Structure 1
Amino acid sequence: MDDTNANAAPQAENAAGLPSEAQVLEALKIVKDPEIPVNVVDLGLIYGVDIMPGGLVDITMTLTSVGCPVQDLIRADAEMAVGRLDGVSEVNVEFVWTPPWGPDKMTEDGKRQMRMFGFNV
């Protein structure tokens, strides 16, 4: 991992004053499933980010299980985290179940974090 920019400001907004996909993903890293000690990005729960003119951000994501009891909490946390970014006027989070989530969707960092907490991944 390249740490040369570890303390640098996040990527600049694009020319239209909208956040980049990388900025949206970075903002989503504060969102965690309360039952799993890893953020939704490293868990591989984010399937898509669409940033549209006017500041609308659509996020397509899944959860580790259908019927997750904290779905509304995760949605609210994601909307709040991304809504704080400059240029964002509205955030829509859509949950999808296809393709189903599996540990193979996790980042290497997410897998490492899970192993630190005793999960077998």
Structure 2
Amino acid sequence: MSAEGVTLPTEEQVLEALKIVKDPEIPVNVVDLGLIYGVDIAEGGLIDITMTLTSVGCPVQDLIRADAEMAVGRLDGVSEVNVEFVWTPPWGPDKMTEDGKRQMRMFGFNV
């Protein structure tokens, strides 16, 4: 609970909200793809998300940012969402969850 008496979301709630965000080129959500590197929840409802993309030149970076901000911004207690893209460490299939790998195999990807 924050100082103002507003209950802040947990990291688990933020990650669950992010599961609706998908890379349009890959049919798996950003959490199971292993693109989320960090979630910071500050007093006042400020949520900072550190994430990466599958490639540095990803043409849908702005779309993914907007989708992530909208998904997390809907949670109770959130006042602002900032998404920062980082490129270190680089993303690789080893960062995917087991569920993400299973989903990729269902779509014919060899992971």
Aligned-residue sequence identity (percent) comes to 94
- The TM-score, its normalising length taken from structure 1, stands at 0.87
CA contact (8 A) 2:3 2:43 kept: no
Q: Which runs of 5+ in 2 are unaligned?
A: none
Cα distance change of structure 1 residues 109 and 60 upon mapping to structure 2, 3 Å threshold: same
Distance (whole Å) between structure 2 residues aligned to residue 116 and residue 103 of structure 1: 15
Deviations 1:12-58 (A, max 9, x none): xx897600000000000000000000000000000000000000000
Q: Secondary structure at the match of 2:41?
A: strand
Q: When the two structures are superposed, what TM-score results if normalisation uses the length of structure 2?
A: 0.94
User: Gaps (5+ residues) in structure 1?
Assistant: 1-13
Distance 2:92 2:24 in 1: 18
Higher RCO (C-alpha 8 Å, min separation 6): 2
CA RMSD in angstroms, aligned pairs only:
1.4
Q: For 1:104, what is the secondary structure of its paired residue?
A: helix
